[in-house]
Structure 1
Amino acid sequence: MGNAASAQRMSATEYLEWERAQAAKHEYHLGEIFAMAGGSPRHNFLSSAMGAELRAAVRGKPCHVLSSDQRISAKQGERYVYADTVVVCGGVRMEPGASDVLANPSVVVEVLSPSTEAYDRGGKWGAYQRIPSLTDYLLVSQVSVRVEHYRREADDSWRYRVIEAGGSITLANGATLPIDAIYEGAFELDAG
């Protein structure tokens, strides 16, 4: 998750006000603030590639692709996070009383890093699962051509698939992403 940014605990309202004035990003969980580390060139490339491929895949659909700067409400007043890429379908809805906190992500993408992988698979994934609008969660590997895809089923369970070279990701909204296009050129860059 990152290191605690402050020993002082904050309320959610205090965090949101404080965070808006910060140059770096911080996540919030039950009063604690955690600094988010910058990514390696490969991490940043894969995040951008996912955004570009998602944008192409949802063109013509009522969806918007947002960058890693978009704060997400994982649970109002308790948990605020940032993802590497976010897709919102059916209109962007902000948390009540805020103009910069997304309440209804449809697709969340996390590019896995050694320092955040356990968090992305654990506590952060647990928080994402409770967002009613979320239909797809994608975990993108930096060490091989591999994307793990969790897709919400009609009974509210999650289906898990691994997509590797030559495959494609099909999102709940019907958009398809060719995995080779996402990774094209990625391994020419340092993973840090």
Structure 2
Amino acid sequence: MSLARSPAPTTVAEFLAWEERQELRWEYDGFAPVAMTGGTVAHDTIQSNLVIALGNRLRGTPCRVHGSNLKIEVAGRVRYPDVFVACTPFNPRETVRRDPVVVFEVLSSGTARTDRVEKMHEYWETPSIQRYVLIEQDAVSAMAFTRGEESWSGRVLWPGSVLALPEIGIELPLDELYEGLDPAALRDPPPPPE
């Protein structure tokens, strides 16, 4: 979620050096740093379920699942996707991966436009990314985009659907990502602030 912009670095290299000295997490949108904020219980539950499901299925393969504590460099920008998978050797001291294969974002009202428009373009401009998955947090639903020759090709997933991830050799039942959440409660409006 975006919170605020900060005047500071103007290149990826300057941003990475600057961010290392910050207490908060920041993304770089190609122009300026953008502070990251927290999310909802639903967002965190879906993200955690996804990391567990992917990690269990990828055990013993060259692919690794990473959560939102690790950043990726895409199209001259730096992002913290909710979850991503990379399949190349890595240095354990790295803070940036530059070759993700599959990227997942859990949509929220504050970031949906960025995820659907800006990041979709950035991820298209990153040839290693073969699949981009947008997961709804307000309903059991997702959109899975596969890289084609000239553009993304999308597929809608509903309750009972299976998310095929041939790029990394696994499949995930969509319902598994919502384990621990009541689908009816996802649709309810949020409680008013106290």
TM-score bracket, shorter-length normalisation: 0.7 to 0.9
Contact 1:106 1:135 in 2 (8 A): yes
Answering whether residue 159 of structure 2 is matched by residue 161 of structure 1, we say no
Amino acid at match of 2:134: L
Answering whether residue 95 of structure 2 is matched by residue 112 of structure 1, we say no
Amino acid at match of 1:161: R
List per-residue Cα deviations over 1:101-121 (Å, max 9, x = no partner). 110001111000000001100
Aligned to 2:86: 88
Structure 2 vs 1, CA of residues 156 and 58 (structure 1 numbering), >3 Å: closer, same or farther? farther
| RMSD over aligned Cα atoms | 2.3
TM-score, normalised by the number of residues in structure 1: 0.87
In 1, Cα distance between equivalents of 2:101 and 2:39: 23
Structure 1, unaligned runs of 5 or more: none
List per-residue Cα deviations over 1:77-136 (Å, max 9, x = no partner). x31111000101243489xxx932110001111000000001100111110111111111
- Pairs aligned (count): 186
In 2, Cα distance between equivalents of 1:14 and 1:152: 31
Structure 2, unaligned runs of 5 or more: none
Aligned to 1:131: 126
**Percent of aligned pairs with the same amino acid:** 33
Answering whether residue 29 of structure 2 is matched by residue 35 of structure 1, we say no
Aligned to 1:184: 179
In 1, Cα distance between equivalents of 2:112 and 2:173: 23
Amino acid at match of 2:182: F
TM-score, normalised by the number of residues in structure 2: 0.86
Contact 2:163 2:174 in 1 (8 A): yes
In 1, Cα distance between equivalents of 2:29 and 2:174: 33
Moved more, 182-191 or 49-58: 182-191
